[in-house]
Amino acid sequence: MIHGFDINDELICEGIVGDGCGGGRLFFVKKETLYAHDPISKENITLAQNIKKAKKVSKSKCVITIECEDEKIEFDLSKMQKK
């Protein structure tokens, strides 16, 4: 459990410091919205909405990948937009 988040939950992933964008933040999908959680300010920042039937969230470098039942969404943190 990190900052009140269960990092074993498939809809939560951790940004690793030094691995591109978003190091030290947690990324998660809740109620069809992708958020970044800043552990210092304790704020949740909305990144993308309308994410239907999300099953898993992962991050590699500056890209957050959201696997949904019907599609795969890639969100580029460096551009702050869906690819």
3-state SS, one letter per residue, for the chain? CECCECCCCCCEEECCCCCCCCCCCEEEEECCEEEEEECCCCEEEEEEECCCCEEEEEEECCEEEEEECCCEEEEECCCCEEC
CATH number assigned to the domain comprising residue 50: 2.40.10
Q: 76 lies in a domain?
A: yes
Q: 4 lies in a domain?
A: no
Q: Chunk the chain into consecutive blocks of 10 residues (it has 83) and report each block's average pLDDT, rounded to whole numbers.
A: 72 87 92 94 95 96 96 95 87
pLDDT computed for residue 3 by the predictor: 60
Closest CA to 28 of 7, 3, 2, 50: 7
pLDDT computed for residue 5 by the predictor: 74
pLDDT computed for residue 20 by the predictor: 76
Q: 5 lies in a domain?
A: no
Q: In the chain, how many domains are there?
A: 1
Q: 1 lies in a domain?
A: no
pLDDT computed for residue 2 by the predictor: 59
Q: 7 lies in a domain?
A: no
Q: 49 lies in a domain?
A: yes
Q: 17 lies in a domain?
A: yes
pLDDT computed for residue 44 by the predictor: 95
